[in-house]
Structure 1
């Protein structure tokens, strides 16, 4: 098929009212879940806003769509700009050019078609997009029937929208027109973007807007230069899921109960991101709640789909075969149809086919009329009419239905005949020692798949081994004397695979498999560690690391801020928890003993198009220039969307600064804040980073304080700082000197003005600087002196313990006297065995705020010596900035 302009007269008179009326009639109702079957619902009443965000079409996504759904379910909603249906053609704030060609992608059942219907209905009802005169929605599954026809653009419009022909409209150049092409992934027409006149290149009808929807894998068929904007439909976020079920169940108590139930079953909660799955879930829950048996609500995907199969089969029996509600579900007709559909599902799934023609059904012995009885499973998707000889087209209601029926087919054939379809051989029935290998094969096949195309299949297949699930299928499975008892062997086999897996991310589907087998032992072990707060103190096994990843990614709330120290301040911890870093918006890796090897691993996060990471803190790790060179290779990647990067105290030199500057020159549009303090980036590196003239350059904040060659030392000395004493806090018997860097006790009260922050009884004072991060400072003392840190809120008035440093929970101090040292906190003293040197009165303080430590060291008399003698370290979780504080002649 090709399109070309056609000359003719231009008019738009009688068309408006006829077109709007037809559009309203065509799109006012939707058939939820099943095309043209079941009970229609008014679109305006049942429509739930979808989560739509900006996307990309540069790369082909080969991942199984359930994996894509899981990946997007980990994303923090706050990190992305969302788009409403009526604003679909409106440029995003950072874009100025108008959007003419729009591609919207999303997995099957996510709501793309309904989105285009809502857009069209709102336009027809004059609720939105008033500047548009024509909207022409096409479906590729209908256009496929024109593959042997040569039509001009106008002929195509006249064919599908006869009102335009009747109105005599033959030219559209003077009008604002939107063409919608839904379902590019279903297109069976030859697409040649180089040699065929096409709408997307803007030559055929330059004023037209074009909207194409597609599943992710097909998006790359359109050259990027032909696309102005890509959006992605993510389905429902958590709020929208609740809204859907509240619309479905008007009774508030009932909807709350169902929402609570879905949230507890994590695998169901993730799948409910897909609107079609919400409909499947609601269908099953309606049935279970109305049934006489009052069965427990399904808690796994396998249970849910078995119940759905039973509901659809029973409805077909009652509605089409005039059977009674109490009649057995399984009879010769229903068995034959379901087994035939299962065979079609399995064999075509192996080939990657999701759409079937009338000839395919005949090949599998499927009667079209019988298949239509199961319209909740298998449905006709071609549209009748339009005057061409159409071959009828069918598909399963959703890919997951096909995968479930495929797994059911393999399982039923084995249970009834002993034939192993996965390995094409016959096994002795119910010899568990041999039978287990059938299921091992399924697990292995799923793990070997690079794109996870068998992930859902294997979940269903293993779930069917449970006796509780088999009891629901009684009548479809042959009666046997012995029971299939392979659960424990399967659990151990899967745990072994988790243990041996090099990547926790690859193990996620294995945890879903354990869930289908109702085994939660690994997850419960880690949850106990998390509850007790001891996970960072335990040496975890590889299986336990994978379980921790699964738990963190399965958390009900977004993985917004990830703090590695809570789990393991180590390189192994980072490498094991890398999938959580990718899913988080902010990752705090400061002071976790990381090296350049960690940077090598983080490159995969920075370059991933699915990464949610926007803020990365790697401060106080010895990354050095080697690490920064690796990190820069990720920063320059076009997929990197990092906005804040903290590299304070990472031993970076001028060479590393140059690496960073070159990376940002390649990808300047995102990083807004860069912290290079306590490094030695050199003059050239700073110039490159701060002197850019590129309009795309977004760097607003560059922190380079406390920089210099001394910051390359490996000891705490690289965090050396000098502070200023705050005269507004000084007791009036304290005299400041040396530009507020020295202080001594005097008898005469000093003429300091009254100030609410002044210590009026205790001879104490604070420094002006509030500290977080890492800092090192040295103090020379004489007599009897307390040296420490305190929160700003320490009391100042009176002589109570609340005012004295070290005698309350607001401060931490070291009392220094000629007799020795004593550590004080919360009025609890700790004597220190190390005696003070006779020739030195110098003490060093090292604060690592994020690690929750304040350490005190004794210094030798020789100022140039780097030798530090450790005296004492306080361990605490700090909640606000700390101020250096001094007390003279105290205690």
Structure 2
């Protein structure tokens, strides 16, 4: 007892030291009553000694220690297990057992992608990740090496189901278990789904924390903000608050009562609790709701890499042989393998294939539609076993429930909603309890505190499941009810007209909202999927033959001016088991005759599809491999957007082709372009102007990997109209984001005026260029003298300088040598052929070569 007492009093003494820093240790339950007794004694004696201020400080700190311990305990209980499937009805698994690191990177595209999220995932791996900056989730608030500015507000983006929320849970769990980030005193995770349910209420920041975290009601957080606090706002894309950052009033008092919208905007802006860390997660399309000035770091969750997919599957499946078999099958189907970048789909695929192989079945799903059909069957059987005690191998379908869920999925898909409320379910004839127990298809999140029931929020496990059920609903309505839900224009709707209407509907949405819906709808018309749904759809109800629909899709492909929008239609043809257009292109590729082929519009689209979905590396786009023409640039725009290097030299590209190139790069600010080779083409003035506009576009600065300002090499030889063209480039050379290493301006008609602009630009950014090619221009001695300031700058990194045929005389050579003599250690190659240096110029050069610091290796 004496030892215990001394230890506790010593701890109290530490707490009251002026230099004490709050580093709370998790205490065990044992001895809590004894500690409270010792605390009361200490407080009593401090008061008797006339130290009421110390007693108050000790009491406050001790209460906050208890708050932190209780908060950690509750967060650990909440996040240590995950439910695979749906909350409260799925199978609980320890997060630490199955957690697999996700590929998280710094930075992100400044552009809101209008592509369907599944398409973003399918083509993500075509891009090289050499310029990505991987970051560990546990380190997101730690500045990068060399970064002085602290990271306080982080925005993490990622498509639906990619693992944003699980990353948050792992971060919090590691903190609660004392593994990482113990310098943080309190973490308060707040989900926008739950915050939505309080959107009409008014409260203070402390009221909000006490409401969601009752264990913190004794916590004292004053205006001095002496504790390290992290607020986590998960799921910005599900926020139904206005978040009016510009119009909301400013608030600095943590006890000030206001609307939830005002409260959150002030926390994010840093008016309320300015020292607190802030972590926001969002799907990409909603991320722009947060003003850029309110974000210190953008990160992006890119899902599983190929190795992480295997790691997750082996962790989840105990049987090593079965895991290997499942991994092998997933790799055999490109569409399944790419979708497994999404952790939720990885879980779906693992569950379906484990059931199929364990039951001895030989046929495995190879398309998305087959995989989701098996998933629906499994969830339906699980429900029948659990709630109806039906163990029949034949699936007993609840037609009404499937129809109603499908109606909900379809109507909310049209509205663009991913979450819905009880009234939405009731409008579709769904009993809330029935939906909640339909295992795996819906999640239910509700909260009940202090006897107050806040409400219920619903969503499908993943957007793709919503799209599948919406497609199934459209099929059932046509085949069973004879009603075309897609279009009401048909007086006598048929399956074929419904499918055609679905094709038109999907093409009508630029955001690709109905792309996957269409893929599923057509896949469900295939006999193999119909047989799986036996009992829900009878074979008699389904008319056979999809030839007319296939022909209609091919006509749409041929009519299209853009190959990009047709990519999904090729996936649809795959679902219908038609590969004819792709096979035609494969025959050209296999024969090596593509460069001479005269391709139809449909074949061009097929070529784009083949290139984007093959295993071929697209880092280098070389037009000579295909067809050297402006049309090729127009048609292959989606392929160019995926490339790091674009080689167009000697391809006869004119102004029209340059327009296509500029449009491709300008429409995709997340382009990864490093190198652009345009030699031997004739773009004309209009073509050069288009590229100039692209390079000066301020949006380029937001690119995730590289933008035109970050080109390693820019070769515009013979293409820039004299000094005016050089002046346009100088604005880029002065930009701090510019990373050009090589600049080729040979034979560009640059005179002294252009040299003056170039010298001024390079002087402001002297460490930029390593190679400068100015041959064939006529600046004269005065132009060369303008470059001497750059060459004398100790930060100058120029290694190669080409000045052939530049009308340089001995006078210009003297100025050049003088500049190099004062800074001789950087230049390696110097080209001065076809100038009029004379003997005196050569003498000047020889003095430079005699300098022991001179690093010249080649001299022409």
State the TM-score, normalizing by the size of structure 2.
0.76
1:35 Cα shift? Answer: 3.0
1:223 to 274, 291, 306: 291
Question: Once the two structures are superposed, what CA deviation does each residue of 1:730-764 show, in whole Å capped at 9, x if it has no partner?
Answer: xxxxxxxxxxxxxxxxxxxxxxxxxxxxxxxxxxx
Q: Distance in 2 between matches of 1:263 and 1:112?
A: 25
1:668 Cα shift? Answer: 3.8
Aligned residues of 1:586 and 1:616 also touching (Cα < 8 A): yes
1:187 Cα shift? Answer: 1.8
What corresponds to 2:676 in structure 1? 616
Q: Distance in 2 between matches of 1:391 and 1:152?
A: 21
Q: Distance in 2 between matches of 1:38 and 1:374?
A: 10
Aligned residues of 1:625 and 1:655 also touching (Cα < 8 A): no
What corresponds to 2:248 in structure 1? 195
Kindly report which structure 2 residues correspond to 1:464-543, keeping only aligned pairs within 5 A, or say none: 464-478=524-538, 480=540, 483-543=542-602
Question: Once the two structures are superposed, what CA deviation does each residue of 1:111-142 show, in whole Å capped at 9, x if it has no partner?
Answer: 11111111112222333223222211111111
Q: Distance in 1 between matches of 2:509 and 2:123?
A: 17
Could you say which structure has the higher strand fraction?
1
RMSD between aligned residues: 3.1
What corresponds to 1:348 in structure 2? 412
Aligned length: 704
Q: Distance in 2 between matches of 1:260 and 1:678?
A: 56
Kindly report which structure 2 residues correspond to 1:561-600, keeping only aligned pairs within 5 A, or say none: 561-600=620-659
SS in 2 for 1:78: coil
2:199 to 147, 154, 158: 147
Q: Distance in 1 between matches of 2:449 and 2:590?
A: 62
What corresponds to 1:34 in structure 2? 86
What corresponds to 1:122 in structure 2? 174
State the TM-score, normalizing by the size of structure 1.
0.74
Q: Which runs of 5+ in 2 are unaligned?
A: 1-55, 252-265, 701-706, 780-801, 806-828, 835-860
2:770 to 697, 701, 708: 701
Cα distance, 1:617–1:251 mapped onto 2, change above 3 Å:
farther
SS in 2 for 1:395: strand
1:606 to 655, 659, 665: 665
1:611 Cα shift? Answer: 1.7
Cα distance, 1:427–1:478 mapped onto 2, change above 3 Å:
farther
Q: Distance in 2 between matches of 1:686 and 1:72?
A: 43
Aligned residues of 1:43 and 1:118 also touching (Cα < 8 A): yes
Pair member with larger Rg: 1
Residue 410 in structure 1 maps to residue 410 in structure 2? no
Cα distance, 1:644–1:662 mapped onto 2, change above 3 Å:
same
What corresponds to 1:450 in structure 2? 510
Aligned residues of 1:71 and 1:610 also touching (Cα < 8 A): no
Could you say which structure has the higher helix fraction?
2
Kindly report which structure 2 residues correspond to 1:604-753, keeping only aligned pairs within 5 A, or say none: 604-607=663-666, 608-640=668-700, 641-642=707-708, 643-647=711-715, 649-652=717-720, 653-665=722-734, 668-677=737-746, 679-692=748-761, 699-708=768-777
Question: Once the two structures are superposed, what CA deviation does each residue of 1:26-81 show, in whole Å capped at 9, x if it has no partner?
Answer: 22122234333311222222122222224458555444322333453432211322
Q: Distance in 2 between matches of 1:356 and 1:441?
A: 27
Q: Distance in 1 between matches of 2:119 and 2:490?
A: 33
Residue 371 in structure 1 maps to residue 435 in structure 2? yes
Query: After alignment, is 544-553 or 75-84 more displaced?
Result: 75-84
What corresponds to 1:303 in structure 2? 370
Question: Once the two structures are superposed, what CA deviation does each residue of 1:192-249 show, in whole Å capped at 9, x if it has no partner?
Answer: 2232331122221111111111122222222222222222222223332232223223
Q: Which runs of 5+ in 1 are unaligned?
A: 1-6, 711-718, 723-768, 777-891
Question: Once the two structures are superposed, what CA deviation does each residue of 1:403-443 show, in whole Å capped at 9, x if it has no partner?
Answer: 111110110111113211212267658xxxx5422211110
What corresponds to 2:426 in structure 1? 362
Question: Once the two structures are superposed, what CA deviation does each residue of 1:132-156 show, in whole Å capped at 9, x if it has no partner?
Answer: 2221111111122222332221222
Residue 329 in structure 1 maps to residue 395 in structure 2? yes
SS in 2 for 1:175: coil
What corresponds to 2:839 in structure 1? none
Q: Distance in 1 between matches of 2:287 and 2:66?
A: 38
Kindly report which structure 2 residues correspond to 1:734-883, keeping only aligned pairs within 5 A, or say none: none
Aligned residues of 1:154 and 1:170 also touching (Cα < 8 A): no
Aligned residues of 2:623 and 2:651 also touching (Cα < 8 A): yes
Q: Distance in 2 between matches of 1:241 and 1:108?
A: 17
Cα distance, 1:157–1:720 mapped onto 2, change above 3 Å:
closer
Q: Distance in 2 between matches of 1:36 and 1:678?
A: 72
Query: After alignment, is 472-481 or 495-504 more displaced?
Result: 472-481
Aligned residues of 2:731 and 2:761 also touching (Cα < 8 A): no
1:683 Cα shift? Answer: 4.2
Cα distance, 1:668–1:393 mapped onto 2, change above 3 Å:
closer
SS in 1 for 2:159: coil
